[in-house]
Amino acid sequence: DFGTGYSSLGYLRAYPFDGIKIDKRFIASISSGSNDRAVVQAIIGLGKAMGLTVTAEGVETEEQLDILGVDQCNEVQGYFMSRPIDKIAFARLLHDSRGAQLKSKKGRVT
């Protein structure tokens, strides 16, 4: 999780990762003109250069989702896609036409 006290660039070399996550604190202000967008772009670029899947946590708005799409983030997680749900509700969501539309319009949803 980049953006938390437990992340370090050194860990990327020391451990066998297949993906990295961008902490929601960077995503929250990605559209506000802060330096957070530059940090997010750098993490995405680093992850792609290392062959890692990059996941953005805490996506809560369509604007954030659109920015992450432009920046080519592999995966997103957050309340914009869905609040936490149990497995029965998740199975229903997979068959729901709105869920299918979201998947087809915005790419992979995790």
> CA 86, CA 54: separation in Å to the nearest integer?
25
- Active-site residue among 57, 60, 62, 63? 57
Specify whether 57 is catalytic.
yes
Structure tokens at 84: 């936490």
What are the residues whose beta carbons fall under 8 Å from the beta carbon of 81, sequence distance 6 or more?
Answer: 59, 102, 109
| Active site residue ranges | 57
